[in-house]
Amino acid sequence: MSNKEHILVEGFKHIKYNGATFSEQEMEKRAKDYFSFNDKRRSVRHFSDKHVAIEIIENLIKTASTAPSGAHKQPWTFCVVKNPELKKKIREAAEAEERKSYEDRMSDVWLKDLKPMGTNANKPFLEIAPYLIIVFKRPFEYDEDGTKHQNYYVNESVGLACGMLISAIHNAGLVTLTHTPSPMRFLEKILNRPDNERAFLLLPVGYAANDAYIPDIERKKLEKVMKVY
């Protein structure tokens, strides 16, 4: 039995919140420092194949799993792929879809907007990065008797977890790239995932290559993204 202080709300135990507190001066400093650190985060397409300990990846995923979710259903599965043969299969399938997108699916405007990113249908990082983390969303669950139960706010919940995962990757000194080959159903087949999972996002994770370059672009200024009422 837990000795934590608690109360009952609608018959369910609620424990006392015990979060960190700081002075206003310290809060301002921490907020500024955290921004400065995250402002250095960039999407990277050039990876090193240098080994990364699996324990680091495990803690990144545990951090992502602290994200809020609708009714605390935690509607996500994080599949970590390190097997070279599986990474090769994923690259081949992803590039096949990407070629279709670049040749037929994307509008001229879309292709023009992508030009500064220096990206194309070739995705060597899918084999070079030591890990691929494929995030699957779970729209519903099965009970032990096979009864279906819907999850709630699935896209929002999984999107929040992915944001926290990306921040955790940066915090660990690693890099990643949000890769969304569309459609992504091939990932479910290659990894033999159950029918209540849908591929949501693919993140290669590792160290940046020594000769990695990134687009010389800028983020929007605060006044463009924040409105105070």
Domain hosting residue 73, numbered range: 44-214
Q: Is residue 36 part of a domain?
A: no
- SS3 percent helix, strand, coil of the chain, rounded to 5, is 40, 20, 40
Q: Is residue 56 part of a domain?
A: yes
The DSSP-derived string for 72-125 is G---EEEEEE--HHHHHHHHHHHHHHHHHIIIIIS-HHHHHHHGGGT--S--TH
Q: Is residue 179 part of a domain?
A: yes
Q: Is residue 164 part of a domain?
A: yes
115: CATH: 3.40.109.10
- Name the DSSP class of 14: E
Q: β-strands 148-150, 6-9: how paired?
A: unpaired
Per-residue pLDDT of the chain (229 residues; tens, 9 = 90+): 457 789 999 999 999 999 999 999 999 999 999 999 999 999 999 999 999 999 999 999 999 999 999 999 999 999 999 999 999 999 999 999 999 999 999 999 999 999 999 999 999 999 999 999 999 999 999 999 999 999 999 999 999 999 999 999 999 999 999 998 788 999 999 999 999 999 999 999 999 999 999 999 999 999 999 999 9
Q: Is residue 190 part of a domain?
A: yes
CB-based contact 104:182 (threshold 8 Å): no
How many domains would you assign to the chain? 1
Q: Is residue 9 part of a domain?
A: no
The whole-angstrom separation of Cα 180 and Cα 165 is 16
Q: Is residue 7 part of a domain?
A: no
Q: Is residue 65 part of a domain?
A: yes
